[in-house]
Amino acid sequence: MEEEEARLALLQTELNSIQSAIRTLDTTILQIKGWCVTASLAIGGFAITYHKAGLVFVGEAAVIGFFIINCQFRAFQRGFMERNLDIDSELKKTGIMTVLKGNGKLDIVGTATRGRASHADEPFPERVRRVMPIIMYEVRRASNYSIYAFLGGCLLIEGVILFAQ
């Protein structure tokens, strides 16, 4: 029974670590959005105050940059969510006692892992081919792009008004 208790402790530690990582990444993503709103409003305000329509391009670049960073963090977070779902489905499918006895497909490591193999030695072009679909999935999700589309649209309207003057 000693081994099962140790595996249970590792499982609890891993689940707590995964939940903590997901919450931490939620906080980080919220901060990214907050900085994007702050930066784009400040740049837009400077553009209007000093009648510099060119600053709108800087604001648009900032919005795009924050959007890309947001998608990267969201993709990273999704990896933890997938690991959490993998653990959940394995426990439901095989039962907790089976998993604790070491049977089943679940590898309990006790740390917050995303469940993927290391790609440290992977060549850069191969890494881009592997990661791009994951990032593009996040780019297409309305929950990720809506605030950035709104801010970019507002800056675009502001730029049109400034250029028309």
Spell out the domain ranges in the chain: 2-164
Confidence grade of residue 50 (pLDDT, cut at 50, 70, 90): very high
Q: Copy the structure tokens of residue 58.
A: 């800087």
Are 7 and 108 in contact by the 8 Å Cβ rule? The answer is yes
> Beta-strand (E) ranges in 73-145?
none
Q: Which of 81, 142, 141, 97 is nearest to 1 (CA)?
A: 97
Confidence grade of residue 113 (pLDDT, cut at 50, 70, 90): low
Q: How far apart are CA 123 and CA 81, in angstroms?
A: 26
Q: Copy the structure tokens of residue 127.
A: 């890494």
Q: How far apart are CA 33 and CA 24, in angstroms?
A: 14
Residue in this structure with the two tokens 């800087």, named with its chain if needed: 58
Amino acid at 119: H
Stretch among 44-58, 108-122, 146-160 having the lowest mean pLDDT = 108-122
Amino acid 15: pLDDT: 92
What is the mean predicted confidence (pLDDT) over 8-24? 93
Q: How far apart are CA 21 and CA 136, in angstroms?
A: 22
What number of CA atoms fall less than 13 Å from residue 10's CA on the CB side? 19
Which tens digit of pLDDT belongs to each residue from 132-153?
999 999 999 998 999 999 999 9
Amino acid 117: pLDDT: 57
Confidence grade of residue 35 (pLDDT, cut at 50, 70, 90): very high
Total residues belonging to the chain: 165
